[in-house]
Structure 1
Amino acid sequence: MLATQFPIRKPVKLIAIAAVFAAPFELAVSGAHAATPTAYVTSETAGVGVIDLDQMSLAKTFPVGADGPRGLSLNADGTRLLLANKNTGDLAVIDTQTGKVVERVKIGKNPEYVRVHNGYAYVTYEPGQAGGKPGADDDDNALPAEIAIIDEKTWRVIRSVKSGHETEGVEFSRDGTTMLVTNEGDDTLSVYDANTGAPLRTVPLPAGGRPRGIKASPDGSQYVVTLESSNRFVVLDAHDFHVVTTVDTKLGPYGVAFDPAGKRLFVAAARDATLQVFDAHNYAHLADVPVGKRCWHFSFTPDGARLLLACGRSNAVYVVDAQTYQTLQQIGDLPLAWGIVTWPTSAGSIESR
């Protein structure tokens, strides 16, 4: 008689079952920080303030204030925060989960502005300048500024391209093929091939204007450039760079951005403690919003409901309702707040969406 063979059943390993149930929990915990809407604010003395946008409060500070951080930008997945540091002359790469510096890339004197685009970081610096506090008037430099281009895979400078004197804002065309840099020291706009860094042209801007911020219009047909010293902004045609129109502002226009819907243009009149609002199509003036002192840069929250302004001489971030223009609160303990970006990325004077 043949014996009936039954498959041997191995004892169930409870640890395996536990692992199955634990894995989703661990993933949820590890992704909790990334899922929380967050703003990062550079403070030249405190470091980087991390604002929890659900609670609208300062959650913590990355203690890199000794480096003198100014410009900042996030990589594509929000795991790395890039800082342009004037005191150390480098680009610091911070793990946004731990707040630790994981890479440093030597740049040169006075790195100020950084933008991430298609896997590369673009950092402006000024070989002819020793640096100084933001908002201070700078003397003309003997040497032109440069833009270092860094590969995010290797964190190495792959090339550096010359610009005008005292570079300020950096923007990219909507199709991603062109990089534009404002040069306040010689009142020009430098235009480059974004892929190769090759210079394409230099656009003269009104003399004595000191161009600061630059932003592409939502449809990509125009660029808006703020002129800090002449208290106005110019609108340039994106094809041939002729001046389409010039619009007066209050004192010291600096950061500029279109709202996420592309219907309004916002300009930070830093020396007038005012955020100005204009129609994005005809540039008619819509509103003036009282804010803090020397608000250089700003960003919308990821949902577009509020504006966050880094107000350097008020040592705080002002939170403004994007529809009613009412100031909702101030988030303090951010001395010399300079730049601000959010995760998830939203429209702002530094980042574009």
Structure 2
Amino acid sequence: MTHFRKPVLIATLMLSAWNVRAAPAAFITNQLDNSVSVIDTDKQSVVETVKVEGKPAGVAVNSVLKQIYISTPEGGGFAVLDSERLKVLKVVKVGGASLGIAADRKGELVFVADWYENSVAVFDAKTFAKIKTITVGKSPSGMTVSPDNRWLYVANRIDDSISQIDLAKLTIRNTTKVGEHPFGIAVDGKGKRLYSANVESDDVSVLDAHSLKRLATIKVGSRPYAVALALNDSLLFVTNQDDGTVTAIDTATLKPVAVIPVGDKPEGICTHPNDSQVYVANWFDNNVSVIDAKTLKVVNTISTGEGSRAFGEFFSR
């Protein structure tokens, strides 16, 4: 029995060691490759590529269940990945074209935005049974959950609006107009402000996260797609797809402080759990730019797969 136990023990220790080194990892969807690149952020390199059919685009993380959810617009649903073993566990059908995807803070629910059906489907994160379908605005895309797990925010692209869903009731509490064609959204760590990247009006809307009252509008670059906060929410980073840049905004003054060149057609953006590195997926360059939030400079570029989008919150924690 000893001869069988030792290899198993060694393999287990090696897997545990890999998880320690690789955590947190960035999960980058490669839409044209039908794959997900897993970046070990300690090594700053891709350590695994997971095949996911259906033109994967959106990403969400369930840290409680150690799962990653990948939306598949041409697969009509989403794939469930084990964030440690890096394997596809399940494929869930939704219907229509799923794009935006999110998980609640308790790890109990998965939300999938259906671009064509103008709805958000709510799934149980353990059984993947559908709990409810909530009708929202036209072409829902980006979604995020408030830190207190009270609200789900949904960007309705064609309606130029943001919907606020009460997670206790799974009903819409409020909807407000923003700029033209909102896509990526983010809420700050205190749940006070909500930021929306508005693709067609080349600006960012700043809202009160509770009332959805519009507080400010900030001009950025051409076709802003997604947003992320860093350095204790003191800076907001915005991907400008047609400019190949990221705009950094001081959230105290609500003024841009830098424009950072990255790759071609940047879209997905997310901040490392260390709060000081911002990862940007460059769709046309097939890579990820790593920005140091303190120096506002690109410090590394990591090759991924073809058509890297990574739309959503893509870091395991």
In structure 1, what is the equivalent of residue 68 of structure 2?
121
| 3-state SS, counterpart of residue 272 of structure 1 | coil
1:143-292 superposed matches below 5 A = 145-206=76-137, 209-292=138-221
Alignment-mate amino acid for residue 31 of structure 2: K
Provide Cα deviations, 1:297-345, integer angstroms capped at 9, x if missing partner. 1111132211111111111011111110111111114210011112225
Distance, in Å, in 2 between the alignment partners of 1:105 and 1:199 is: 26
User: Which of the two has greater strand per residue?
Assistant: 2
1:112 aligns with 2:43: no
CA-CA distance at 1:247 after TM superposition: 0.6
| 3-state SS, counterpart of residue 271 of structure 1 | coil
In structure 1, what is the equivalent of residue 15 of structure 2?
none
Alignment-mate amino acid for residue 192 of structure 1: F
TM-score w.r.t. the length of structure 1 is: 0.69
Distance, in Å, in 1 between the alignment partners of 2:84 and 2:148 is: 31
| 3-state SS, counterpart of residue 334 of structure 1 | coil
Instruction: Identify if the C-alpha distance between structure 1 residues 302 and 314 changes in structure 2 by more than 3 Å, giving closer, same or farther.
Output: same
Distance, in Å, in 2 between the alignment partners of 1:213 and 1:110 is: 17
In structure 2, what is the equivalent of residue 318 of structure 1?
247
- Would you say the 8 A contact 1:302–1:344 is kept in 2? no
In structure 2, what is the equivalent of residue 339 of structure 1?
268
1:350 aligns with 2:312: yes
CA-CA distance at 1:267 after TM superposition: 1.2
CA-CA distance at 1:189 after TM superposition: 0.6
Distance, in Å, in 1 between the alignment partners of 2:92 and 2:275 is: 28
Q: Which 4+ stretches in 1 moved above 6 angstroms?
A: none
- Would you say the 8 A contact 2:186–2:229 is kept in 1? no
CA-CA distance at 1:271 after TM superposition: 1.1
- Would you say the 8 A contact 1:168–1:184 is kept in 2? yes
Distance, in Å, in 1 between the alignment partners of 2:204 and 2:161 is: 13
CA-CA distance at 1:124 after TM superposition: 1.1
Distance, in Å, in 2 between the alignment partners of 1:339 and 1:126 is: 16
TM-score w.r.t. the length of structure 2 is: 0.76
Distance, in Å, in 2 between the alignment partners of 1:244 and 1:114 is: 25
Distance, in Å, in 2 between the alignment partners of 1:343 and 1:243 is: 31
- Would you say the 8 A contact 1:210–1:229 is kept in 2? yes
| 3-state SS, counterpart of residue 200 of structure 2 | helix
Alignment-mate amino acid for residue 182 of structure 1: A
Provide Cα deviations, 1:136-166, integer angstroms capped at 9, x if missing partner. xxxxxxxxx1211111232221111011322
CA-CA distance at 1:279 after TM superposition: 1.3
CA-CA distance at 1:282 after TM superposition: 1.6
CA-CA distance at 1:346 after TM superposition: 5.3
Alignment-mate amino acid for residue 52 of structure 2: I
Provide Cα deviations, 1:153-209, integer angstroms capped at 9, x if missing partner. 322211110113221222222322111111111111111111232222222224xx1
Give the superposed CA RMSD. Answer: 2.3
Instruction: Identify if the C-alpha distance between structure 1 residues 251 and 261 changes in structure 2 by more than 3 Å, giving closer, same or farther.
Output: same
In structure 2, what is the equivalent of residue 297 of structure 1?
226
1:128-143 superposed matches below 5 A = none
Structure 1 unaligned regions, length at least 5: 1-33, 35-74, 129-144
1:82 aligns with 2:27: yes
Q: Which of these two proteins has the greater Rg computed from alpha carbons?
A: 1
Paired residues, what number?
260
Aligned-pair identity in percent equals: 26
- Would you say the 8 A contact 2:74–2:97 is kept in 1? no
In structure 1, what is the equivalent of residue 282 of structure 2?
none
| 3-state SS, counterpart of residue 154 of structure 2 | strand
- Would you say the 8 A contact 1:302–1:342 is kept in 2? no
